[in-house]
Structure 1
Amino acid sequence: MTDTDRPEPPPHFIRTRIRKDVETEVVQQVVTRFPPEPNGYLHIGHAKSIALNFAMAEEFGGRTHLRFDDTNPMKEEQRYVDAIRDDVGWLGYEWARECYASDYFEQLYAWALHLIDQGLAYVDSQDADAIREQRGTLTEPGRESPYRDRPPAESRDLFERMRAGEFPDGAHVLRAKIDMAAPNINLRDPVLYRIRHQHHARTGDAWCIYPSYDFAHGQSDAIEGITHSLCTLEFEDHRPLYDWLIEHLPVPARPRQIEFARLNLDFTVLSKRRLSRLVDEGHVDGWDDPRMPTLAGIRRRGFTPASIRNFCTEIGVTKSESVIPFGALERNLRDDLNVRAPRRLAVLNPLKVILTNFPDDETEWLELPNHPQNPDMGTREVPLSRELWIEAGDFMIDAPKKFFRLKPGGEVRLRGAFIVRCDEVVKDDSGNVVALHCSFDPDTRSGQPGADRKVKGTIHWLSAEHAVRAEVRLYDRLFSVPHPAADKDRDFVEHLNPDSLQVVSDARIEPGVEAMAPGTHMQFERTGYFVVDRDSTPDAPVLNRAATLRDTWSKIEKQLR
């Protein structure tokens, strides 16, 4: 099913809210933003936010900004900016404007001075531990800082000297003066600025004080004319501070923050801190390892932009936290690739078959469809010769009654060719099966009188002479339990699935696949959906399994829940 085939998504509370704002002319044009921090790669959880922000703006004729929240130079790097741009563009979205919180550092600084002059902010000279200890708890109010009543003129002087670089890191902070007894801890005089003598990727050494996320976020929204600031639920408790700052600053616009439930996916982790640890400790091969839930990772694994967009539409937008089965993401990929991925042949665990009545020096070229349900995708020629490869799993010596593939004396149809019978099993000195001697029935070729003769099994194959050796990487769930981070008794890395990657180094693929460009998708018949990996070359092709043909995990997941 394609994007255009899917029914219109059902209404949700954010769409309803925006529609009302548009119809009542509270806003003239909808403007949304996606504001990632450039301190890591985006993951599938971000895809939900990206899709929602861009979809709402597009639906109501508005625009979306891509704004990098680059307020913490200690963790931010240009490579993350480049990766985020690439991921958002790969998903199929175009932003109207690219912005950075650092674009507004001068204005944010001026507004911080405004708060100081109004008696709404003060410089606190305590260290971080003292401030944290005075903050209170959910049941106990906080205690006021001894510097809370510092005169505005003194705070302004200190803050200007903070900017000038006179003080070391941690010597002072700027705090909003709100209410240390507020039930919402975020309103207990939150920190607005910290001293950080750290080189910034965009502003260099121009600044040694940097705004907090809470201070930069809402004001950046206001500067850009954002009408609806769509955030995940963890920011719901921050909304009163967001609104307080907007209310007490001379900002040019009044954006509205609306929260929704974030995406949670089973059998993985969606925390930048945990994902960074997986990379740093070598549990995975970088941020784009195909087992990672990063957009770069699932892209390399073979997921498509359409499958991710459809998945985000399917799971909907609610205020209720839930965990989505990884299988739902895979199902959307199957739905997408089943329609458009061309079919090819591959044998992952080869077993030799010798057709004893096939001419020794002859090669037949069979015309096979590229897609059995879509004649518009055309056909291709596939070579057939005396020696073939079949899957070792398609043969059994002592086959059970309902085994309908190849067995001694048994018959199967070779897909697109003819029926063969196993006449002899060849074993090595250790008793291992190394080859099958078979004979084919020429009357069962297409167009022959026996072409319609029925046998219960059909298997795929490759010409041994023409097949290309390849490395095939079989990816599976990264963790062996549904909720690896929820186990309080064990470190989440202890739940890593040892079988999350199996490398088949001696697979055989249909000739022509080795020349396909990285990122090309196909279905290996009876095996699964695959994509050409970036490591692939014509001389050493590498393919990644994106998904199996069927959901083999659904029953296992139910048992593990």
Structure 2
Amino acid sequence: MNNKKYNNFICQIINEDLNKNKNLSLRTRFPPEPNGHLHIGHAKSICLNFELAHLYNGKCNLRFDDTNPLKENIKYINSIKYDISWLGYKWNGSVRYSSDYFFKLYQYAKQLIYKGLAYVDNLTKEQIREYRGTLNTPGINSPYRNRTIEENIKLFKKMKNGEYAEGEACLRAKIDMSSSSIIMRDPVLYRIRFMPHHQTKNIWCIYPTYDFAHCLSDSLEKITHSLCTLEFQENKFLYNWILYNTNVEYHPKQYEFSRLNLEFSILSKRKLKILIDQNIIQGWNDPRIPTISGLRRKGYTASAIKYFCQKIGITKQNTLIEYSLLEHCIRKELNQTAIRSMAILEPIKITLYNLDENHKEIFVVPNHPNNPDMGTHEIIFTNIIYIERSDFKEKYETGYKRLSIGKEIRLRYAYIIQATKIEKDEFNNIINITCYCDTTSLGKKPKNKKNPAVIHWISIHNTLPVEFRLYDQLFDIKNPEQQKNFLSYINPKSLIKKHGFIEKTLATMIQQYIFNQNNQLCFQFERIGYFCIDYIDSQKNYLVFNRTVNLRDLWNLKKNKNTNN
């Protein structure tokens, strides 16, 4: 991104820093915790950190905040690395881990003890929370707060050697239990976890907290601008306190920006995991949730996600972003790149009675109406075809521009037809519509008549049965993140499955993309929406298509309406 497209208050800060120090070499980092898949909010942070490094000829580290082995997993590390690479970014040097610095962090913790600024506490987790106080009442000192330096060093070593049970002891900073900032009321720096670590195995049984490890890791990596979201604004006090009171050579600076909040969506990894554990969604890559893997499976491209992050910008004000803007970004791209073809989601049979049963025509149609370089493909026209069930009404209604008894309609790329009669089954369901085909109307306007509306179709001899998955918002309310009982607002129609047809003549083109999540093949099924192949559930003999987005651009419609007003 160039400077004009990527300009925000953080850029202004960096520009001022560069004016003060011409030799400053920008270094940012993206520090995810490997306890789940990345989501669209992480994409915003990824774009910010990596794009700033690129813009200012700096470097961006990838560092996993792996300080809690209870929740972390190597599979999440691999998925995060994949997502970042898929977005098109390359981190500086090797992947880094907070666990790379565990020995140094342990030494820094002992420094605080020797300075009388940390102590081993034997209060339980519940007691620590109780002693901490509230926003309106000051905290109470722990009865273990005034242990001697020698005693604390001895007890901290016992913690390290595994001589305490989990929860029996922890290391806390000695700051101020009456501080107006609750986070400064003797925060925990180390806790005991008897759990193998994915990097350090069983070397350690004590692990630093995020707040202790994060700032010191930034310092060790000489991060110039430590960027985080606004919920960490209060943590900055502790961030700076730790750096000031340990013997680190380098002091990074923390800057906060607004997190991404998206309509009808949950971004909390804890809540996403609840959805998975309760089988409400399939997993971290379910297309109904805005994880990067879910969006990718739904047909979103890396460029569309990055364009969305650019559109929403970087500010200090939390806002709820319209989901229609995210859809607008992928729709704008797919409008240029998606192959046009026809598909039938709910088939109803049409018999063209004046055509011979052996009648067969081949039409060559464009893959994109405005881009001849995308080539063409063939469609087959015969006396029996399928149309969408919703494109027919037995009785004509004013304003209905589809097929009705006695009314004409044009078949896309083909002829004008007129419905004459219908056939129903024993349950009164229409199973066949008999129509007249005007064989003189190919490519011609009807004389002395208005052009009839156009509908899509597929010949019975050109059908490939497939499954269509129509995705909608997972929640019925705009901001489920704010609801304590968010599970009560699940949209029961967030996934609707249809079994219909696509053009069989596209099969050869499709086969090479079935299992390829890196190079998705996207279609605009005319009049229906944009779809991609589900590379997880599709098989060679059974294709599944996920709807990426429908055709109607609600964000643009609202934008134009506001402009006109």
* Pair in the same fold by TM > 0.5: yes
Q: Which residue of 2 aligns with 1:511?
A: 505
Structure 2: distance between partners of 1:397 and 1:78? 59
Structure 2: distance between partners of 1:507 and 1:368? 18
Q: Which residue of 2 aligns with 1:350?
A: 347
Q: CA deviation at 1:440?
A: 2.1
Q: Which residue of 1 aligns with 2:155?
A: 158
Q: CA 1:75/1:27 → structure 2, altered by over 3 Å: closer, same or farther?
A: farther
Deviations 1:487-525 (A, max 9, x none): 45xx21111000000011244444324525133211101
Q: Which residue of 1 aligns with 2:83?
A: 87
TM-score computed with the length of structure 1 as normaliser = 0.94
Structure 2: distance between partners of 1:439 and 1:398? 17
Report the AA paired with residue 252 of structure 1: E
Residue 346 of structure 2 contacts residue 499 of structure 2 at CA under 8 Å; is this kept in 1? no
Deviations 1:212-243 (A, max 9, x none): 00000011111111111110011000001101
Q: Which residue of 1 aligns with 2:117?
A: 120
Structure 2: distance between partners of 1:125 and 1:26? 50
Q: Which residue of 2 aligns with 1:548?
A: 550
Residue 111 of structure 1 pairs with residue 113 of structure 2? no
Q: Which residue of 2 aligns with 1:298?
A: 295
Q: CA deviation at 1:555?
A: 10
Q: CA 1:223/1:89 → structure 2, altered by over 3 Å: closer, same or farther?
A: same
Residue 474 of structure 1 pairs with residue 474 of structure 2? no
Deviations 1:121-144 (A, max 9, x none): 121222222222221221222222
- Report matched runs for 1:13-24 at 5 Å: 13-24=9-20
Unaligned runs of 5+ in 1: none
Secondary structure at 2:314 match in 1: coil
Q: Which residue of 1 aligns with 2:540?
A: 538
Residue 101 of structure 1 contacts residue 220 of structure 1 at CA under 8 Å; is this kept in 2? yes
Q: Pick from 499, 502, 507: which aligns with 2:496? A: 502
- Report matched runs for 1:281-430 at 5 Å: 281-430=278-427
Structure 2: distance between partners of 1:347 and 1:65? 48
143-152 or 33-42, larger mean C-alpha shift? 143-152
Q: CA 1:427/1:99 → structure 2, altered by over 3 Å: closer, same or farther?
A: same
Structure 2: distance between partners of 1:217 and 1:283? 34
Residue 463 of structure 2 contacts residue 501 of structure 2 at CA under 8 Å; is this kept in 1? no
- Quick one: percent identity of the two aligned structures? 44
Structure 1: distance between partners of 2:494 and 2:445? 48
Secondary structure at 1:403 match in 2: coil
Structure 1: distance between partners of 2:187 and 2:356? 84
Residue 392 of structure 2 contacts residue 403 of structure 2 at CA under 8 Å; is this kept in 1? yes
Structure 2: distance between partners of 1:468 and 1:538? 12
Structure 2: distance between partners of 1:114 and 1:8? 46
Unaligned runs of 5+ in 2: 515-519
Q: CA 1:198/1:451 → structure 2, altered by over 3 Å: closer, same or farther?
A: farther
Report the AA paired with residue 297 of structure 1: G
Structure 1: distance between partners of 2:377 and 2:147? 81
Structure 1: distance between partners of 2:225 and 2:319? 24
Q: CA deviation at 1:367?
A: 0.9
Structure 1: distance between partners of 2:153 and 2:412? 80
Structure 2: distance between partners of 1:36 and 1:326? 24
Q: Pick from 49, 52, 63: which aligns with 1:56? A: 52
Q: CA deviation at 1:172?
A: 1.6
Secondary structure at 1:444 match in 2: coil
Q: CA deviation at 1:538?
A: 2.8
Residue 460 of structure 1 pairs with residue 474 of structure 2? no
Deviations 1:159-201 (A, max 9, x none): 1221111221122211112222211111111111111111111
Secondary structure at 2:380 match in 1: strand
Report the AA paired with residue 529 of structure 2: G
Structure 1: distance between partners of 2:235 and 2:448? 70
Q: Which residue of 2 aligns with 1:493?
A: 487
Structure 2: distance between partners of 1:164 and 1:455? 84
Q: CA 1:150/1:391 → structure 2, altered by over 3 Å: closer, same or farther?
A: same
Report the AA paired with residue 305 of structure 2: I
Q: CA 1:442/1:466 → structure 2, altered by over 3 Å: closer, same or farther?
A: same
Q: Which residue of 2 aligns with 1:235?
A: 232
Structure 2: distance between partners of 1:456 and 1:373? 23
538-547 or 150-159, larger mean C-alpha shift? 150-159
Structure 2: distance between partners of 1:156 and 1:480? 54
TM-score computed with the length of structure 2 as normaliser = 0.93
Secondary structure at 1:465 match in 2: helix
Q: CA deviation at 1:120?
A: 1.7
Residue 515 of structure 1 contacts residue 537 of structure 1 at CA under 8 Å; is this kept in 2? no
- Report matched runs for 1:432-443 at 5 Å: 432-443=429-440
Q: CA 1:540/1:293 → structure 2, altered by over 3 Å: closer, same or farther?
A: same
Structure 1: distance between partners of 2:427 and 2:207? 71
Structure 2: distance between partners of 1:428 and 1:153? 90
Report the AA paired with residue 463 of structure 2: A
Structure 2: distance between partners of 1:149 and 1:483? 46
Report the AA paired with residue 479 of structure 2: H
Report the AA paired with residue 84 of structure 1: I
Residue 444 of structure 1 contacts residue 452 of structure 1 at CA under 8 Å; is this kept in 2? no
Q: Pick from 74, 79, 90: which aligns with 1:78? A: 74
Residue 368 of structure 1 contacts residue 379 of structure 1 at CA under 8 Å; is this kept in 2? yes
